[in-house]
Structure 1
Amino acid sequence: YQEGIAKQQVNGKDVTAHIYEYTTQIGMRIKNDVVQLVPKQQPVQMLFCLKEKNQKKINSHRWFFQAFGRVLDPNVCVLIDAGTRPGGNSIYHLWKAFDLEP
């Protein structure tokens, strides 16, 4: 996060969302309820989109598929609610199911 980088307007138009991107090669694991960093993992690109106006979950899902889906053209999209803690290999198994049966 950099103070002052998120603007309310750009070229006189109101901003509807702020998008932040980061690529990491640091993995994480939980051991005895402590989060530990695991270096030299596969790179993961993270995108975080903060909407200016909260219009509930269904609107956020629509937003994701209409905006990001068209640009990124992903093979698989997984939406996880804030606060959800997936099991150790659950995201991999979900992806693998789609990989085997597209």
Structure 2
Amino acid sequence: MLVFLLVIAAIPAAAWLLRRGQSFGARGNASLGVAGAVAVGPRERIALVRAEGKWLVVGITPQSITLLTELDGPPAEAPAVALATPRFSDLLRSFAIRHADRT
């Protein structure tokens, strides 16, 4: 019974060690990193990757990673885009105001 409990206790400890080991590798490689990503489908995304001083735009699917373009320099900050649809809080507030007048 004691051996069974030790095996059960070792499983979360092993998982913790594996996660901890992966984070060490990510911090150690400063020449490669994902600067940002945008989902374009349920399992597809476009990512901006910094690799060895180059900026790459890549398309990522479950089956492959494809280089879309290489940028000349670091990307410029994009201007903020206005939301085409109102926020949920704004819709809820307007609904509450309309129905408060009816009561």
When normalised by structure 1's length, the TM-score is 0.22
Higher helix share goes to which structure? Answer: 2
Higher-RCO chain (CA-CA 8 Å, sequence separation at least 6): 1
When normalised by structure 2's length, the TM-score is 0.21
Of structures 1 and 2, the larger Rg is shown by 2
